[in-house]
Structures are given as structure tokens and as C-alpha cells.
Amino acid sequence: MNGEQLKNKTKEGKVVYGSMISMGRNPRWTSAISDLGLDYVVIDMEHAPRGRAEVADYLVAMQSIGVVPIVRIPIPDSHYVTMALDAGAHGVLAPYCETVEEVREVIGACKWRPLKGVMVKRVVEEAVFPSEESRKYLENLNRNSVCIIGIESVPAIENLDKILDVNGVDAIFVGPNDLTISLGIPNQYDHPDYESALRQIIKSCENKNIPVLIHHQSVELTKKWLQEGAKFVLHSSDRRQMHQGYRNDFNAIQEFGSEIMGETSQTISESTEVI
């Protein structure tokens, strides 16, 4: 699958499945996720300490396994967008967007690179191209580019309808940790205000046929919001899943060993990763 195919699948209303890569750096890591049935992965550069060269090598390896690589850039900035795409990403996730201006800058770089400056502004705001030949060339060059906009705060939700009117938004991302903090209810994912905000986002996006991905960490929450309409599934992360696998096994092993030794078993807790 490539970026264009991923976009087509979401436009058809089908579910796509992905996860966040928060820890993996070595290109060999891709072999561990090649047979998980994922449609895409988001490689984090916002919170994970990765360099440009590391990401470029990782993206080359990702191309070989049929999983669409999307990079979460550090900030919604055109330079970071083109840096990721030039390295081989099939799309970007621009975090914490709150204004139409930020979204236009991201879309201009994601959909119309290498056009810059006044020319790309005219394309995004007025659909005016240097020529018809240039339009066709740029559309073909960027056909795999997936543009995901992060809506992670109250001001962002207030501006969401205007943001969705900007042509070129392929999906809307919600970061639950950031959003609940902005709502004044940190990490309370069952709070009525949080659930109301998500439903408002999903409804606004459904009206524009734009899919929503919500980065939940538990199977229960992912299933709940899949049922509520978030069909662009972004579940957990490599670090959390590795921790969970070890946690389940070693909790069982240590409990059994403690019974043999007549000792009290120590319980390994849930991952505390927040991304």
C-alpha cells in the first residue's frame, strides 16, 4: 500500500489500521511489524528524540514492507513537512494546529512541494497555478502525500469547521492527552466533556467526509471510538506494546515463582508513556 491507496481506502469509508512508532530507530525494526496487518504507521518526531538521518534510513526500510509511513513532525511548519516527504515519508501528521493559517502552510508544503512563497500561497488560497502543466506535474509528484492535521485543544475545536474548509486535509488527528489537558480534565478519557468534544470533532469531519484518528492506548477505548465513527484507527505505540507483552508474561511468571517460593508477588504496572 502507498499513500494514495491509503487515502482512497479512507474515502471509501473503509477502516484503516495503524500504530505509533515512538521507540524504534534501527531499520531492522521494520521486520518486527511487517506481518502485523497494519496499513500505516506514524513515526514520531514530536516527542521522540530522532534525527533527520535516522528517520530517512527508517523510511527507506519501511518502503519494503508495504506499510504506509507517515511522520509526525515537531510543529506545523512547512520546512518540517518537506523534510519528511523528501526523506521518503508518504505523509505527515502536523500536531497541535489551531489556525487556518497553520493548516494552509502545512497543506501547501504537503500537497504542492516544491512550490514555495507567494506562488504556493496563491495555489492554496485561490487555486491559481503558474500553469496547467505545473498543476498536473505537482499533483502527480505529490499524489502519495497524506496530510493529517492535529486537533488537540479547545481553540482548535472552535476553529475546526474553518480548518476543514481548507482543501487538502486528508484526516484529522486527536491527541487525547493534549486535548484533555486543554479541557481541564487531564487524562480523564471517560469524562463527559472529553467524549462530547470527540463526538463534535467526528460529526464535523463526517460532514466533510474526512476521517478521524484518535490515538488511544487501550483496546477498549480504541474499540469504543471505532464504533463511534473514528475509522482511521491509530492504536498504541511500539514501546507500549512491547511493555505490555513483557508485563503480561512476567506478571504471570513472577506470580508462579512467588507461589513456589512462598513469597509475595510484585506486579509490573502499566506503561506510563504519554505521546
* pLDDT recorded at residue 38: 96
Residue 47 is among the residues annotated as catalytic for this protein? yes
CA pair distance 87, 57, nearest whole angstrom: 8
* pLDDT recorded at residue 268: 81
Domains in the chain, start-ordered, CATH in brackets? 3-238 (3.20.20.60)
Enumerate residue ranges in the chain where pLDDT < 70.
none
Active-site option among 47, 79, 90, 216: 47
Is 237 in contact with 16 (CB distance < 8 Å)?
no
* pLDDT recorded at residue 64: 87
Question: What are the pLDDT digits (tens) for 68-103?
Answer: 999 999 999 999 999 999 999 999 999 999 999 999
Question: What are the pLDDT digits (tens) for 106-121?
Answer: 999 999 999 999 999 9
Nearest CA to 76 out of 100, 106, 34 is that of 106
Whether pTM exceeds 0.75 = yes
